[in-house]
Chains A and B, each alone.
Chain A
Amino acid sequence: MPVLQVQRKPLTLSERAYLPQVAAGLWITLKHLFSPRVTLSYPEERPAIPPGYRGAPTLVKDPNGREKCVSCQLCEFVCPPRAIRITPGSIPSDQPGAHVEKAPEAFDIDMLRCIYCGLCEEVCPEEAIFLQNQYSMSGYTRSEMVNHKDRLYEMGGTMPDRHYKWDRKKAAAEKAAHHD
């Protein structure tokens, strides 16, 4: 390993007298005394959330108001701390989205377990789960800290959709049926 010899200059007279150095230090702190404060007074002032921030995971709907999750359970399997529990259910045939066939009956995310890794968002083939802006969660009991399906949709809201995958599938199926 190479040895780097640090040059140590002998202290000058003003450095050894110490008082000029003290005065320099006092000048620095005096400047700080009149410089603007950097503290964020948290509950009143909120930090600006940068794009791509990973807050609490939420479920989103597409612009037509259809729930996007098809309860494939990939997020449940990939979740490292096993914070997600999904009970799959089927969509009744009289519903408009019946051709999607499946939707979660229950979708629970335990926020005491979640580590905000974002793997659920990354793995989701339907782009139905997103880690959004919410960073402040509190509750008096453990059960309060579990986000159920309705709460997840409330937090998630609607996201723009580029694919309309199920609408295109339905249109293609109808077109094929028409040709037959």
Chain B
Amino acid sequence: MNFFFELPFWLQGVLKGLAVIVVIFPIAGACSMAERKVSAWMQGRPGPNRAIVPWVGWIPGVGPALQRLGLFHLLADGLKFVFKEEPVPGQVNKFYFGLAPALALIPAFTTVAVVPFGAYFGPRGEVVPLMLANVDVGLLAVFAVSSLGIYSLILAGWASNSKYPFLGGIRASAQLISYELSLTLAVVPVFLWINAPGAPATWSLVKVVEFQSGVSGWGGAWFLFTMPLSAAIFLIALFAETNRQPFDMPESEADLVGGFHTEYGAFKWSLFFVAEYSNMIVGSGVFALLFLGGWNPLPWLPLARFAALTGLLGHPFLVGVASVVIFLVKILLMIFLFMWVRWTLPRFRYDQVMKIGWQKLLPLAIANLAAYAVGISWLQK
């Protein structure tokens, strides 16, 4: 590992960034496949299971299993998106039309930089988080950058110069603004609690996980159990922010054809798709860090004790791998929840979305914040 730390700093950053993108991109692709499979299973169908590639698919045992899981459809879909003809309608503004899908990816991949996805223990037992940029504004950076994702949707809707994408773009902007408030207010109690009065304040996600790493009492309980209402509000707002069912107003197929991406096809469309799933992955990650204890395997069983129990404590590399695996499992469970909800609930009407956002969720978030503010000030007196 030492040669890596002797490389120039910028090269280390580029390599780490590439490693994260190389992981996120296939997971986003695999999610699209998982979505098709999960929807099929919930509807009593076997789902896509026909595509087969030579040689790999002929390996006895493994090949047919992969075929039944539909993994070759993943390759087929990817190749199709790259090679199929890309129609650009005559009425669009070509520059912004091309810019929008690229712009969708930028916030999706930028937020990954400030999200820790694992940790190991240094020689003196201190927690070293695995992340690209350990900035102290942590969660604020995630919120700031991820809200920029809306620009790609508005740009796509506007540049398409046709009515359905336009309506989709408008809905996207209205919905994101409405739910951003509840989303942010829901996490404030968490940071009220971890920031002791007088100590230097932080928005760091690493600190949130460290706070949930206790072995007993309040410290070890995940915030999901100590702040269930915050978690629920955050989760609902997250569904709205990532434009997932039942809040997928911007692309509601029933009334807007395809919403903001109606005029898109082939590779540009697939970029929107990857961006949506990347947003889901990052959003699930943030939820796992805030409310599900991050890389701690179980409540009151923090990573350090887990490592000691399994005898990994002396091997920082293995601890790091274990923490990443635990974190990924939580993210995948969250993504399954996203899909599970999508194939269960029908879509809200637009006025219902606005009503839930402004008349229900926002007052609830404010009341929640007030209650916890009073409670925490009493506890930390």
Hey, which bits of chain A sit against chain B, CB under 8 A?
A: 19, 22, 25-26, 28-30, 32-33, 35-39, 41
Contacts and interface: CB of A to CB of B under 8 A. Distances in A.
Contact of B46 (A22, A32, A39): A39
B43 interface: yes
A32 to B, nearest CB: 5
13 contacts: A22-B341, A26-B340, A28-B344, A29-B344, A30-B340, A32-B41, A32-B43, A32-B44, A35-B44, A37-B41, A37-B46, A39-B45, A39-B46
Contacts of B344: 22, 25-26, 28-29
A117 B159 CA distance: 55
Contacts of A35: 44
Given A19-B232, A26-B340, A33 B345 contact: no
Interface string B27-44: 000000000001001111
A43 to B, nearest CB: 10
Contacts of B81: none
B343 interface: yes
A32 B341 contact: no
Given A22-B345, A25-B344, A26-B340, A38 B44 contact: yes
Contacts, number: 34
A39 B41 CA distance: 10
Contacts of A29: 42, 340, 343-344
A35 B340 CA distance: 15
A33 B43 CA distance: 8
A37 B45 contact: yes
A19, A35, A36, A37 — most chain B CB neighbours (10 Å): A37
In this complex, which of B41, B232, B344 has the most chain A Cβ atoms within 10 angstroms of its Cβ?
B344
Q: Which 8 A-B pairs have the closest CB atoms?
A: A38-B44, A25-B344, A29-B344, A29-B42, A39-B45, A32-B42, A33-B41, A37-B46
Contacts of B46: 37, 39, 41
Nearest to A21: B345
Nearest to A36: B44
Contacts of B44: 32, 35-39
A41 B232 CA distance: 41
A40 to B, nearest CB: 10
Interface string B337-349: 0001101110000
Nearest to A26: B344
Given A29-B42, A32-B44, A33-B42, 19 more contacts: A22-B344, A22-B345, A25-B345, A26-B341, A26-B344, A29-B343, A29-B344, A30-B340, A32-B41, A33-B38, A35-B44, A36-B44, A37-B44, A37-B45, A37-B46, A38-B44, A39-B44, A39-B45, A41-B46
A25 B246 CA distance: 13
Contacts of A32: 41-44
Contacts of A22: 341, 344-345
A108 B345 CA distance: 54
A28 B345 CA distance: 11
Contacts of B38: 33
A28 B43 CA distance: 11
Contacts of B45: 37-39
Nearest to A35: B44
Interface in B16-71: 38, 41-46
Nearest to A16: B360
Contacts of A26: 340-341, 344
A93 to B, nearest CB: 59
A41 B45 CA distance: 10
A24 to B, nearest CB: 10
Contacts of B345: 22, 25
A22 B232 CA distance: 13
B232 to A, nearest CB: 7
A33 B344 CA distance: 11
Nearest to B356: A18
Contacts of B232: 19
